[in-house]
Structure 1
Amino acid sequence: MILFLAARPVTAPPVRPAPRRRARFHPLARFRPLAPYRRIFAVPGTRAFTAANLLARLPMGMLSISAVLMIAGSRGSYALAGAVTATGLAATALAGPWTARLIDRHGQSRIAVPATALATLGSLSLLLCVHYGAPDWTLFASYAATATTPNTGGMSRARWAHLFRGDPAARHTANSFEQAADELCFLLGPLLATLLCTTLFPEAGTAAGAALLLTGVLLFASQRRTEPPVTTHTASHSPTRSPLRLPGLPPLLGTFLCTGAIFGSLEVVTLAYADAHGIRSAGGVLLALQAAGSGAAGLLYGALRPGRDRPGRRFLRCTAAMAALMLLPPLAATTDSPAVLAAALLLAGMATAPTMVTGMDLIQSRTPPGQLNEGMTLAVTALLSGIAAGSAGGGWAVDHLAGAGTAYAVPAAAAALALTVTLLTHRARPGRRVPAL
């Protein structure tokens, strides 16, 4: 099914109003959570590119932790492993938008495959350098080469945006599904990487992640019938103009930066909390509960029809809910009960996915179609930068504050900062409107 090809492009079928029928009362008549998802996956080609993209996206939760386990196990230094992965993260933040710009200009199939091949060679080079004891600088150079990995989630969202460019409700459902898929990959990826590296050999996680990435991108790129067409740029909209100069986009990226800080600090603080309470092996389970809550909320949010209010106002409400629910972990940490903290993390995660979904909806509406991949990659870059800053801030708080429980104030503060940025930039600014998708 994944290899099903066709030459002609696919567009979403027109939606015709259903014939009126006499209303009959039934308590569950209007609650059909799977109906919106059946509708978007009824479009030919969507199941094929989604399956291929999920295969390509799973390594995003594998490669980083696999590199840490591989380097630390071989060189005996977590500091070196952390420095190498941080270098790769910084390189990705720099190279990612350029790769996305090339994809927008020349198409997904022409750019994603060679970019992924180069990134795969970087992963294999890292594996060989670690295995054969090459100098430390080769590890940094090899991992930096993986920065050309294309934003697979952004390419999938771009296809949904093209197929449903005239249907905001369907785009909302598709973005919700994509956010839940991200959460699933970040939930399963570390578990699979740890299992491979600890049960087989230290290099197994990196090798499997590189193979899955290359295979998935090849299959995804072969789905030409759903690929968005390359937009011809005009003199009024130069292809060299960065989306950062578009009105309304920088404030969104600021909120994404703060949201990334929530994720980064929450991960470090939770692992430290589990270690301090003698349940180090349960740290991953606590983080999985947060991701599970976010993924479930994302799927439910996608099943609901968006309200008639403006997306900006809906985004404000989502960030407010995220800031409120992120107060639960520091409160639960005062009880000194891991079970209470687990429940708090599950509830806290339920506001992050709706915030991300609504934010992606806004980015798609404020970015021209010819720069959609670049715009969404900038959002991912902001998230990655926030994760790096949040990890550093969470680690500092664990070491310098009174215990790991107190350090949960860092993700709560990051959520409050995200709400502040959204509040300060909520008013619509005058200026040229960006063409809607």
Structure 2
Amino acid sequence: MPNPYREIFRRPGTKGFAAAAFVARLPLPMTTIGLVAMLSQTHGEYWIAGAVSATFALANAFIAPQVSRWVDNKGQSAVLVPTTIVAVAALVALAAAAWARWPNWTLFVFAVIAGVMPSMMALVRARWTEIYRDRPELHTAFAFESVMDEVVYICGPIFGIGLSVSLFPEAGVLASAAFLAAGTALFVAQKSTEPKVDPHRIRNGGSVMRLLPMWFVVTVFAGMGAIFGTAEVSVVAFAQAMGHKGAASYILAAYAAGSFIVGLVIGAIEFKTPLARRLVLASLIAAVTTLPMPFVGNLWALTLVVFLAGAAISPTFITGMSLIERIVPASQLTEGITYAMTGVGIGFAAGSSLAGWTIDAYGASNGFWVAVAGGAVAFVTMLVGYGRLSSPAGPTAAGGAALNPAE
């Protein structure tokens, strides 16, 4: 039986840009946690650490789609070089500001500027789409990237915290800048696989968010992001309440492991079911797996429940990304995928904040109700939007071609 993952790397250049993209997207999770690790040590206050980290995350969530739209207009190389230079300079400035104890407002300014960091998760998927558009290999490629996302979000925080604690406070943020510079340089150097800019694209066609189906998909991703954010906060709080705070690390690892394993399996299967129907089923499973969370009574039970919840993540993301590829015009794919990731970021921020408030007010176990709400949002959104997403006469691309997201 042929290995589908081996097959997608038979095309020249695929190994090169995939490896470069892995390095270039490590900085996003490294920076968010690295800022907390750095500023909590240099300033001794968690409020400033959390606030600056949140400022960077939100700035990136809102700026990255505009950067990706610029990429779709001008090309990856033309945009990645200047934006990466700005982002790297801002990260170095953040480290310098923390080390020299510059005024706190400078930290927020540099955090906003660093938010121009490009969405490498979208850029690498755009390259796969350029190579395997309308071919079954694209499903496997998206599955592979979802698995790599999990690896990045496991390794990134480990590097960010580990370097800051073991070397010096600014080490995590500086390493993030170095990874971003090196990874992007290697990625840009892969010219043969760079998507071509469509010369016939209508420049004033507007954002992909003018397409109603995109709102449904982005909202589904926001609901999934709320589950992520809730899990990170509530698992730590529950483990601490049980007297074993350190257990949170292996419980969260089980969450990532569930998504990792199922993502690999999903990528090896060639589905015949329409994408919209698969996303309804995936969002239903994701919602159902959150229901036991508020009722678990010990760490082992929580580990099992969290593993099952993680297993529902990859199918949702893989299918959702494939659906976006059918919804948006080909010339705006990078922007479309970036908006989906923005939805995850906003959902994550909302979920973690609401979970924290709920835990403080009602206890650790009740924080998981926010995850239940996130799952409900994702599933109900798909029920409401199913007719539009599965319609044979899908939204119309900028060039006038009808798209069929259901196929």
Report the TM-score when normalising by structure 2: 0.94
What SS class does the counterpart of residue 312 from structure 2 fall into? helix
Residue 317 (1) aligns with residue 281 (2): yes
Query: What aligned pairs does 1:319-398 form with structure 2 within 5 A after superposition?
Result: 319-331=283-295, 333=296, 335=297, 337-398=298-359
1:67 is matched with which residue?
A: 35
Superimposed CA distance per residue, residues 151-183 of structure 1 (whole angstroms, 9 cap, x where no aligned partner): 10111000000101131x111111000000000
- DSSP-derived class of the 2:169 partner: coil
Secondary structure of 1:425's match?
A: helix
| Whole-Å separation in 2 of the counterparts to 1:166 and 1:253 | 22
Q: Which runs of 4+ in 1 moved over 2 A?
A: 237-240, 328-331, 428-437
Q: Is the 8 A contact 1:60 1:185 kept in 2?
A: no
Residue 431 of structure 1 and its aligned partner are, at CA, apart by 5.7
Using a 3 Å threshold, how does the CA distance of structure 1 residues 188 and 432 change in structure 2: closer, same or farther? Answer: closer
Match of 2:373 in 1: 413
The range that moved more, 274-283 or 385-394, is: 274-283
The number of residues matched between the two structures is 397
Which whole-Å CA distance do the structure 2 matches of 1:206 and 1:283 have between them?
24
Give the root-mean-square deviation of aligned CA atoms.
1.5
Query: Is the counterpart of residue 423 in structure 1 residue 383 in structure 2?
Result: yes
Report the counterpart of residue 210 of structure 1 in structure 2: 177
1:297 shift after superposition: 0.8
Q: How does 1:237-276 map to 2 (within 5 A)?
A: 237-276=202-241
User: How far apart, CA to CA, are the structure 2 residues paired with 1:224 and 1:127?
Assistant: 32
2:125–2:145: 8 Å Cα contact kept in structure 1?
yes
SS of match in other structure, 2:386:
coil
Partner of 1:145: 113
- Shift of the alpha carbon at 1:271? 1.2
Amino acid at match of 1:283: A
Provide, for residues 369-424 of structure 1, a one-character-per-residue CA deviation record: whole Å limited to 9, x for no partner. Answer: 111111111111111111111111110111111x2112211101210121011101
For residues 63 and 225 of structure 2, the distance between their equivalents in structure 1, rounded to whole angstroms, comes to 19
Offset, 1:238: 4.0
Q: Deviations over 1:113-169 (max 9, x none)?
A: 2111111111100100000110100100111111111110111000000101131x1
Residue 13 (structure 1) aligns with: none
Q: Cα–Cα, structure 1 residues 137 and 432, in superposed 2: closer, same or farther, change >3 Å?
A: closer
Deviation at 1:90, TM superposition (A): 2.1
Structure 2: 5+ residue stretches without partners:
none
Post-superposition CA distance 1:218-239 (Å, at most 9, x none): 00010000000001235xx444
Tell me if 1:47 matches 2:15: yes
CA distance in 2, matches of 1:198, 1:431: 51
Deviation string for 1:227-265 (max 9, x for gaps)?
Answer: 00001235xx44441101124111111111111111111
Distance 1:396 1:238, change over 3 A: same
**d(CA) in 2 for partners of 1:174, 1:238:** 29
SS in 2 for 1:43: coil
1:78 aligned residue (46, 67, 80): 46
Name structure 1 gaps, 5 residues minimum.
1-31
Report the Cα distance in structure 2 between the residues aligned to 1:432 and 1:55, rounded to whole angstroms. 35
Could you tell me which of 80, 84, 91 is aligned with 2:59? Answer: 91
Asked if structure 1 preserves the Cα contact closer than 8 Å seen for 2:262 and 2:314, the reply is: yes
Question: How does the TM-score come out when normalised to structure 1?
Answer: 0.88
Asked if 2 retains the 8 angstrom alpha-carbon contact of 1:68 and 1:85, the reply is yes
The one-letter code matched in structure 2 to 1:88 is F
